[in-house]
Amino acid sequence: MSAASPAAVPDGLREAFRDHQRLLWGLCYRMTGCAADSDDLVQDTFQRALERPPRDLERPWRPWLVRVAMNLSRDRLRQRRRRDYPGPWLPSPIEPPAYEIEREDAATTAGRYDLLESVSFAFLLALEQLSPQRRAVLLLGDVFDYSARETAEALGMSEANARTTLHRARKQMAAYERAAPDTAEARPGGDLAAATRTMLTQLLATLASGDVAALARLLAADARLLSDGGGEFAAARNPVLGADKVARLLLGLANKGGWPRIDLRTLNGQPAVVGAFASPRPRIAPRFVLRIELAADGRIREIHQVLASRKLTALSEPPTRAV
């Protein structure tokens, strides 16, 4: 925006940028699961508005901007899926301002899924099974509460196709809905968040002790670890399965990298660890996010390690002193 001369900016675009930037970022993030991609896509959307604005500048900017952002996001998602990703793919962790401010902008939203739920790792990973088109329809209809007509206009499809696509997307999300926790419990102040924070603290303490048996006892028998190094850093290329294997891998990584500075934060609505090494070894990620999902019995059923630099652009560094 700042690179263009004032005369080149269409009427109302500056105000539209101010009013709708957060909404567009939220849409792009839910479409791609990547904060860095979302930053790029929002800028691309407004660049498109500068270069090829809508013909009728008297009409509201928001529908046009949403349409462009969703089209660009679908293209970006298709491009990512055409490439072989080196190992498990995980979403970018984001901190509360990215979605708390957005909630103020979209206070009237009353979709099938809560805005906070729709940035959770569980929800974003469930969205990965959907085609870009179904993902877009589900997000507009069931998160941002668009009608079939509004969805059709935003995505350039018929109302009948929008309804059919939404129905099929909901069927694909059925497994997620059966496993999803109660929304109130999953909120930052809820019981699930408190239990997750407690278990994260126990996990860190047990890792520091080096006791592999004690670490395995914190894990469900079918525990799974996913590491996203993006091909940039050392990471397991396949999911690690089973409590004993996960425990031994975690301790091995802790011994290789040393003990980092760590900070417990709320990321994507749930507690997580942000860590950084003062002097990382070659191929060891200098920064990382460690997060967990709990089983019904309170043990850890899934561990996510986000290591790739591009996935961590939305996070600030941990404090100088370790927690």
pLDDT of 98? 73
pTM of the model: 0.90
Q: Are 192 and 120 in contact (CB under 8 A)?
A: no
What is the domain partition of the chain in residue ranges? Answer: 6-180, 184-312
pLDDT of 256? 75
Q: Which CATH class is domain 6-180?
A: mainly alpha
Among the listed residues 226, 209, 258, the one whose alpha carbon sits nearest the alpha carbon of residue 91: 226
Return the beta strands (E) in 133-174 as ranges: none
Torsion sign over Cα 12, 17, 19, 23 = positive
Cβ neighbors of 254 (< 8 A, separation 6 or more) are 207, 208, 210
pLDDT of 7? 45
* Apex 240 CA angle, 130 and 177, nearest 5: 35
Q: For the CA atoms of 98, 99, 100, 106, what is the dihedral angle to 10 degrees? A: 120
Q: Are 148 and 206 in contact (CB under 8 A)?
A: no
Domain 184-312 adopts which CATH fold? Answer: Nuclear Transport Factor 2; Chain: A, (3.10.450)
Q: How far is CA 284 from CA 26, 124, 241, in A?
A: 31, 26, 22
Going residue by residue through the chain, which has 323 residues, state the pLDDT in tens, using 9 for 90 and above.
Answer: 444 444 477 778 889 889 999 999 999 999 999 999 999 999 999 999 999 988 888 788 999 999 999 999 999 999 999 999 999 999 999 998 777 655 555 544 557 898 899 999 999 999 999 999 999 999 999 999 999 999 999 999 999 999 999 999 999 999 999 887 765 565 666 789 999 999 999 999 999 999 999 999 999 999 999 999 999 999 999 999 999 999 999 999 887 767 889 999 999 999 999 999 887 778 889 999 999 999 999 999 999 999 999 999 999 888 765 44
Output DSSP code: residue 144: S
